[in-house]
Amino acid sequence: MKITKAIYLQGNVDYKKCPPTNKPEFAFIGRSNVGKSSIINMLTDNRKLAQVSASPGKTKLINHFLINDNWYLVDLPGYGWARTSKSSKQEWDLMTKDYLTKRENMICAFVLIDSCIEAQQIDLDYMEGLATHGIPFVILFTKADRTNKTKINGVIEQYKNKMKETWEELPQMFITSSKNKLGKEEILEFIDDLVKDFFSK
């Protein structure tokens, strides 16, 4: 797949106000400051599509981007630490949970995880929650350009070993870098297959 058109459509605090559900959509979520906006911009070849910030907690809405007039890419608020009040964080968490569990055309969530640091319990807990609610997801290990292959493989093994303690089957995993576009083709091919499957039903 090649993305030839990507436009920001709208941002909402309520999943019920999101665009019509006649197109498949893919949600991107991760711990605050994991590089979510950078990955979105890399996939769409548009450095200004999603706002990139050095300050965690920049994304505060369910942001919909229309891709190739055919599917939606959804940028969700990050989870975990962010410079915001406890009440605002709770509102974001509830908004995101409602979207992920009730949005009927959300085909797959992409959970972004920093490949430069050891396995984080908050990421493991979040993925456990997705699995508990039957929400399909894959993992994108980000910032691969900032460390070496041995370190990345070690981090991935940490996650695999932790998850194997309770999971029968592990989710698909991609290694990515917004700087050198690592993983771009594989991710877009993965999305393309799911988009085709959505419209073939």
Q: Is the pLDDT of residue 191 over 80?
A: yes
The predicted pLDDT at position 83 comes to 44
The predicted pLDDT at position 90 comes to 52
The predicted pLDDT at position 51 comes to 67
How many helices, marked H, and strands, marked E, lie in the chain? 5, 7
- For residue 1, being part of any structural domain is answered with no
CATH number of the structural domain spanning residue 194: 3.40.50.300
**3 state SS of 3:** coil
The string of DSSP letters for 4-55 reads --EEEEEEESSGGGSPPSSS-EEEEEEBTTSSHHHHHHHHHT-TTSS---SS
The predicted pLDDT at position 59 comes to 57
The predicted pLDDT at position 189 comes to 98
For the chain, how many structural domains are there in total? 1
Q: Which of 3-17, 20-34, 76-90, 180-194 shows the lowest per-residue confidence on average (mean pLDDT)?
A: 76-90
- Distance linking the first and last C-alpha atoms of the chain: 20
> Locate tokens 């070496």: which residue?
148
The predicted pLDDT at position 57 comes to 44
What are the tens digits of pLDDT across the range 136-159? 999 999 999 999 999 999 999 999
Q: Is the pLDDT of residue 93 over 80?
A: no
The predicted pLDDT at position 119 comes to 94
Q: Does residue 114 contact residue 34 with C-beta atoms inside 8 Å?
A: yes
The alpha carbon of residue 201 and the mean position of all alpha carbons in its chain are separated, in whole angstroms, by 25
The predicted pLDDT at position 33 comes to 82
Q: Which residue has the higher pLDDT, 84 or 193?
A: 193
- For residue 106, being part of any structural domain is answered with yes
- For residue 148, being part of any structural domain is answered with yes
Q: Does residue 61 contact residue 5 with C-beta atoms inside 8 Å?
A: no
What are the tens digits of pLDDT across the range 34-90? 989 899 999 999 988 876 544 444 457 899 999 999 999 999 988 875 444 444 445
What are the tens digits of pLDDT across the range 97-139? 999 999 999 999 999 999 999 999 999 999 999 999 999 999 9
Enclosing domain of residue 53: 6-200
**3 state SS of 1:** coil
- For residue 55, being part of any structural domain is answered with yes
* Distance set, CA 96 to CA 15, 18, 39 (Å): 8, 12, 19
Q: Does residue 133 contact residue 156 with C-beta atoms inside 8 Å?
A: no
What's the predicted TM-score (pTM) here? 0.90
